[in-house]
Chain A
Amino acid sequence: MALDLKKFISRFVEEAREHIKRLGEGLDAMSRDSEDRENINAIFRSAHTIKGSSRMLKLSSITETAHKLEDVLGALRDGSLHYRPELGNLLYRGVDAIAVLVEYLAKSGDGATLPAVDEALCASLAQAATGEVSAAVARPSGIDLATDDAPLAVESTSPPAVTPSTLAVTSPSVKAKLNTADTVRVRLAKLDELIKLMGEVVSSHATLRQRLHDIRLIEYDDSPESWEQHRARLHHFGLTLRDDVQGQELLMNELHDKALIMRMLPLAMVFDSAGRVVRDLAHSVGKEVECVVIGAEIELDRQMIDKLSDPIVHLLRNAIDHGLETSAARLAAGKSPQGHITLSARQDGGWVVIEVADDGAGVPVEAVREKALRKGFISAEQATSLSDQEVVDLIFRPGFSTSAIITDISGRGVGMDVVKQSIVDDLQGEVTVETRLGAGTTFALRLPLSLAVMRVLLVEVNGLPFGFTAQYVDELIRVPHEEMLTIVERNAVIIRNEFVPVVALADLLHAPKRLVKTSRSQTGTFDHGMLLVVVRVRNEKLALAVDDLLDERDMVIKPLPEHMRRLTMVSGMVITGRNELVSVLHAPVLLELARKARGQTSRTEAADHAEAQGTAYKILVVDDSLNTREIEKDVLEAWGYHVTLAEDGMDGLQRARAGTFDAILTDVEMPNMDGFTLTSMLRQEEKYRDTPIVIITSREKEEDKRHGIQVGADAYIVKGDFEQNSLVDTLRSLLG
């Protein structure tokens, strides 16, 4: 009877994947040091093993490819052949072809349906083994590593002969995907520990059973003991139960940690294949790119690892397609012809920061600005007032793509928004971009280590509990009612020199009033002022007024039912000790909601009048706090002024020089250049000699005021006593 080979296929796939990984690493090493004999031996052995085990399972196309690969490696090993970059590329192609076949096999589980061997590739390898590298090597292979549509992989067996230049636009199937796994390997020791802990839980449960028995005894005891004695027994019982509960808690925590660790996987799961992905993509657009991977050993919950693959591939694509220049352009700019991409990960407190950095041309801010304007994402007025950072952030808008020619790799207008969505919404993380023209771009993804357990702050509003994940909570403060400012029908507070808008959480959530008041809501804390939870997403803050704080601890986050996932305001649920289900609020969405509510504030008649007359004054607002800038802008726009924003003194000076403004409002403490320096610099400019300059700051000291006037400011407003009218009145009187 014939042997049932299917049983062995999955084992082969697993083994082959390991060897493919080793081959990839070995070839990388060979490209750096082609004389390392030990390395050549190791990769030769891997190719040999794949050949041998695939032959046993009659996987002839894998056997054939591995065999040819082995021949070339053998020739390299015995010195009859010497390493050249073109040969390296050919070997990579061979390994990639095997990888594609193995993944196809993993999907189909049937060796009989395996695609036929790539004759052209095998011929090239055979030729190479004799010392010739055929011209065909230069052709990029349309390799498809996506396991979910494996049949496409067959296309790679006969790529059409096209020139690299047309490829950039028409390459049929450069579909890259980083590897993720369906199974987790757990060390036996870890599993044993877990099982031991389970035993402990069982015995702890037996203890609780005993306590139940104990309390029954006390309850039904009819011995004529005094009330005092009875109470003492109850007290003793309470103490024992407390110890048991504490012991149980420790046990649960340990069990939880151990179980979660099993689901932690090293980032290597996604990072390891990055090198090959970069190579394939770079090859297909005719650029030279080297990829460096750092921190692949950092572990993350596999739930996150699975979802990270696509965003990272997209960022890599983006770096290759938009970020890095062609070799010629790089040489012209005085850089090395080969571009560099660094994929790195590091731990930062409870976060993991993953960065995709390139040393390319940087994001062309002005081109982005123009394009955003052309596409109608921003108004002409916004185009002049948005800071560079805000402009760069526009690339995350759906439908935004700056590539002049739409290529197959990126630039289809989908991507960056998807990256943002999956990082922010699915993974509870943040995305930031840093870019310098000519020097490169870095995308940083900040992610929590695990989504399953998070530090959660529980607050109460209208008698209902709500949660915030701790990473978004900046601080908790209590502010006396009189410190609340009303600015254009909105509330704000000043927290350390920064205006932070205040919104009642109940209003934002449309939370109903709970009919039955819980005991905890009658704490009477309202008298001491307003309790504010300040949430921060990147550099934007929002203070949410809540009634009370309930708890803060690590909690298990449960997902919402599938059909409710579209409610982006809630990222999950936690269960409290009272067995209540509590919605964990997603801070970025709350900020968005608050921003939308803000957009609907009414404009004053003065604004409409100024607009109609076309006499709107142009004001430059300089402040390093995004919140403060926005609030000042709102106030001024409500009164009909045209506002341009600058994020620090240096930025302010450049904008002032580039344009003409009727008045300038500036903060004092700012990076790069402070407000005093900005004021004195502006006073030296011909066109700003007499322009009103107002300093708005939280520095209340007399000497600061004097300093402000000395450097040439016309007015000095302290943020603490800042009121809407005083700012507008001051501006009015200064503008005449």
Chain B
Amino acid sequence: MNQQEITLDQLLSQRREANREIVNVEEPTRKLVVFELQGDWFAFQGEKIREILSHVDVFFVPGCPTSLEGVINVRGDIESVISLHELLQLPESVDISSSSYLLGSGAGMSSTIRVDKVVDVVDVLLSNIHKPPTTLPEHLRAIVSGVLQFKEKTVTALDLDRIFADYSNGLG
């Protein structure tokens, strides 16, 4: 009986609602690689990360700044390993044996970045990524591109291009 009570108008409006859902799905998304460092969650834009590596040996290179932990062998190419701890003012990880390495490129250079754990690779609606709050600490302001909620945790999206650009300038 109830079904009969639905009027044509209601039907049409339901249909419109459904259509709107479809339109919503087409909203632009951004692929993010979400990772953990010292319990905090961060993310890089997916297109900037070429590969995620784990169980690799890092080799010491003399004369490197502290943020450069060494080099790894990626199928015959030598790639550097950058640690973000100093930049993000986080304490150094004690055990790096379970670390993952994000091989990224941007600002004309390529390097891996050591993270404690890769949480997920996800497509996030652009509308869900918010502008970084103005209360952000000074050292983060330049490198944070946005903030979002993911699995009930706050994820800070970082700008890889900016980090690499600063990095290659800072070394000289």
Stretch with Cβ within 8 A of A (4 or more), from B16-24, B61-69, B130-138, B154-162: B61-69
The complex places the Cα of A558 from the Cα of B61 at a distance, in Å, of 14
Count chain B residues whose beta carbon lies closer than 8 angstroms to a beta carbon of A: 23
Contact A581 B59 (CB under 8 A): yes
Contact A566 B172 (CB under 8 A): yes
In the complex, residue of chain A having the shortest beta-carbon distance to the beta carbon of B168: A563
Whether A464 is near chain B, meaning CB under 8 Å from some CB there, is yes
Q: Give the Cβ gap from B106 to chain A, nearest Cβ, in Å.
A: 12
In the complex, residue of chain A having the shortest beta-carbon distance to the beta carbon of B171: A566
Could you say which of A559, A561, A579 contacts B111, with CB atoms under 8 Å apart?
Answer: A561
Contact B73 A567 (CB under 8 A): no
Whether B129 is near chain A, meaning CB under 8 Å from some CB there, is no
Q: Give the Cβ gap from B17 to chain A, nearest Cβ, in Å.
A: 53
In the complex, residue of chain B having the shortest beta-carbon distance to the beta carbon of A562: B109
Whether B36 is near chain A, meaning CB under 8 Å from some CB there, is no
Could you say which of A562, A563, A567, A568 contacts B61, with CB atoms under 8 Å apart?
Answer: A567
Q: Mark A552-584, 1 if CB is under 8 A from B, else 0.
A: 000000111111101111100101000111110
Within 8 A of B (CB), among A489-523: 509-512
Q: Give the Cβ gap from B65 to chain A, nearest Cβ, in Å.
A: 9
Contact A581 B72 (CB under 8 A): yes
Residues of A contacting B80 with CB < 8 Å? 560-561, 563-564
Q: Mark A417-455, 1 if CB is under 8 A from B, else 0.
A: 000000000000000000000000000000000000000
Whether A373 is near chain B, meaning CB under 8 Å from some CB there, is no
Q: Give the Cβ gap from B72 to chain A, nearest Cβ, in Å.
A: 7
Q: Give the Cβ gap from A127 to chain B, nearest Cβ, in Å.
A: 54
The complex places the Cα of A510 from the Cα of B62 at a distance, in Å, of 7
Within 8 A of B (CB), among A437-493: 464, 466
Whether B57 is near chain A, meaning CB under 8 Å from some CB there, is yes
Contact B72 A511 (CB under 8 A): no
Residues of B contacting A569 with CB < 8 Å? 62-63
Residues of B contacting A464 with CB < 8 Å? 60
Q: Give the Cβ gap from A720 to chain B, nearest Cβ, in Å.
A: 34
Whether A585 is near chain B, meaning CB under 8 Å from some CB there, is yes
Within 8 A of B (CB), among A570-604: 570, 573, 575, 579-583, 585
Contact B57 A580 (CB under 8 A): yes
- Tell me whether A509 and B78 are in contact in the complex, defined as CB-CB below 8 angstroms, given that A561-B110, A566-B172 are known contacts: no
Whether B41 is near chain A, meaning CB under 8 Å from some CB there, is no
Q: Give the Cβ gap from A517 to chain B, nearest Cβ, in Å.
A: 15
The complex places the Cα of A649 from the Cα of B110 at a distance, in Å, of 57
Whether B116 is near chain A, meaning CB under 8 Å from some CB there, is no
Whether B71 is near chain A, meaning CB under 8 Å from some CB there, is yes
The complex places the Cα of A418 from the Cα of B78 at a distance, in Å, of 28
In the complex, residue of chain B having the shortest beta-carbon distance to the beta carbon of A514: B60
The complex places the Cα of A568 from the Cα of B72 at a distance, in Å, of 19
Within 8 A of A (CB), among B67-106: 68, 71-73, 76, 78-80
The complex places the Cα of A567 from the Cα of B68 at a distance, in Å, of 11
Contact B63 A558 (CB under 8 A): no
Contact A570 B61 (CB under 8 A): yes
Residues of B contacting A582 with CB < 8 Å? 59
Contact B60 A575 (CB under 8 A): no
- Tell me whether A580 and B59 are in contact in the complex, defined as CB-CB below 8 angstroms, given that A560-B71, A561-B109, A561-B110 are known contacts: yes
The complex places the Cα of A570 from the Cα of B71 at a distance, in Å, of 12
Residues of B contacting A562 with CB < 8 Å? 108-109
The complex places the Cα of A722 from the Cα of B5 at a distance, in Å, of 113
Could you say which of B60, B78, B167, B168 contacts A512, with CB atoms under 8 Å apart?
Answer: B60
Residues of A contacting B59 with CB < 8 Å? 580-583
The complex places the Cα of A580 from the Cα of B56 at a distance, in Å, of 11
Contact A583 B78 (CB under 8 A): no
The complex places the Cα of A509 from the Cα of B64 at a distance, in Å, of 10
Residues of B contacting A580 with CB < 8 Å? 57, 59
Contact A585 B72 (CB under 8 A): no
Residues of A contacting B110 with CB < 8 Å? 561
Within 8 A of B (CB), among A516-570: 558-564, 566-570
Output the residue of A510, A559, A583, A585 with the most chain B CB within 10 A. Answer: A583
A interface residues with partner B (beta carbon < 8 Å) = 464, 466, 509-512, 558-564, 566-570, 573, 575, 579-583, 585
B interface residues with partner A (beta carbon < 8 Å) = 57, 59-64, 68, 71-73, 76, 78-80, 108-111, 167-168, 171-172
A-B contact pairs, 16 of them (CB 8 A): A559-B78, A560-B78, A561-B79, A561-B80, A561-B111, A562-B109, A563-B80, A564-B71, A569-B63, A570-B61, A573-B78, A579-B73, A581-B59, A581-B71, A581-B72, A585-B62
20 additional A-B residue pairs with CB within 8 Å, beyond A466-B62, A561-B80, A581-B78: A509-B63, A510-B62, A558-B76, A560-B71, A561-B71, A562-B108, A564-B71, A564-B80, A564-B171, A567-B61, A570-B61, A570-B63, A573-B71, A579-B57, A580-B57, A581-B71, A581-B72, A583-B61, A583-B62, A585-B62
Per CB-CB distance, the 8 closest pairs between chain A and chain B, nearest first, are: A509-B62, A569-B63, A581-B59, A563-B109, A567-B63, A563-B168, A583-B61, A561-B80
